[in-house]
Amino acid sequence: MKSIYEPLFEPFTLPSGARLKNRVLMAPMTNSSSLGSGEVSEQELLYYRERSGGVGAVITASSHVSPEGKAFVNEIGADRDDFIPSLKKLADTIRAQGSKAILQLFHAGRMTTAELNDGRQPVSASPVAAEREGAAIPRALTEEEILATAEAFGEAARRAVQAGFDGVEIHGANTFLIQQFFSPHSNRRTDRWGGTLDNRMAFPLAVIDRVKQAVAEHAKAPFIIGYRLSPEEKHEPGITMEDTLQLADRLAEQGLDYLHMSVRGFWDGSIRDTADTASRVALVQERVGARLPVIGVGGLSSPDDVRRALDSGVPLLSLGHALIMEPKWVDKVRSGRESDIRTTLPRTAQRELALPDPLWDMLVNTPGWFPVV
């Protein structure tokens, strides 16, 4: 290994006491490769097996915590106890290779369709449609349903513990339900769950509280609880960076293990104001990094990209596209073979890269998404 890359391989102990063997994680990425039942498929297990081992932790694709919370076809189910054996296969597959296994938990809210959810009308904080073509007007959740949904996140966390995962990531990003409660665009409520900034934080904090309770009741060893967020929204009204910094302050008080950013580029500035070029990741690190570990992400492909991002002070980095194209990214850097890291997606390499059929179809048929050759 070249000495300049040694920082990538320094271990890191999270606040819970869980220890990551290095600073590189696999980012959560939708693969739509589970079975229609919600159970993980053999192809999906092979996909994760191939990418586990080198990274310090694997954060899985999102798993729904409620039957009406699906956003994608063939996504992981975590909403019933009969999914525990399936989830155990996934956790065991990742952990057997030497990486921590973290299950991402989410609810789609208004970012779904009736077709995905057995004809049910989508739900959200308020009856405001997403700004996308064909978006349905959702039904506002009742007080009782809000509490039940927070409970559903806690129950899914319990299942993750019982399935042998090392942690869960609460998905508060990418315009899904938790973000919908935080956003002034999707949350127009006037009760205790909306209106003021503090009230818009109430549902995210209720979910965190219930997940923490479940972990405290069921985990026998240090168990990771992370939170993912998107720092801004383009539309008006929408989440601003100041909103997010105040949320980050509150998150830093919750005893979480990490705050995982969700941005297109690690160094990207504001999506609301092109004149504001400060990295959103760096701003959150500056605000709460001394109190809550931050995971940076976005456009990090080469070892030099990752080293430079670590040099900024962000302690952990997650890779997405890079690990799709090169499952052995970490191993090749460690063994001094960084020149062998694949940076394209050959049309002949599906089996070699252990990419499930549904994911492969998305990768090669979405123009401009991956450098397919």
Residue 85: CB partners within 8 Å, gap ≥ 6?
Answer: 163
* Element (DSSP H or E) covering residue 332: helix 329-334
Q: What does the alpha-carbon distance between residue 309 and residue 320 come to, in Å, rounded to a whole number?
A: 15
Tell me which CATH homologous superfamily contains domain 3-365: Aldolase class I (3.20.20.70)
Secondary structure (H, E, C), 61-121: EEEECCCCCCCCCCCEECCCHHHHHHHHHHHHHHHHCCCEEEEEEECCCCCCCCHHHCCCC
- Confidence at residue 339, expressed as pLDDT on a 0 to 100 scale: 96
pTM (global) more than 0.95: yes
Domain range annotation of the chain = 3-365
- Confidence at residue 117, expressed as pLDDT on a 0 to 100 scale: 87
Query: How does 218-243 read in b/e, with b if 16+ C-beta sit within 10 Å?
Result: ebeebbbbbbbbbbbbeeeebbbbeb
Q: Which residue numbers in the chain have pLDDT < 70?
A: none
Beta strands 19-20 and 12-13, pairing class: antiparallel
pLDDT in tens, 129-148: 999 998 999 999 999 999 99
Q: Which of 129, 130, 124, 160 is nearest to 145 (CA)?
A: 124
Average pLDDT of every residue of the chain: 97
Is 303 in a helix, a strand, or coil? helix
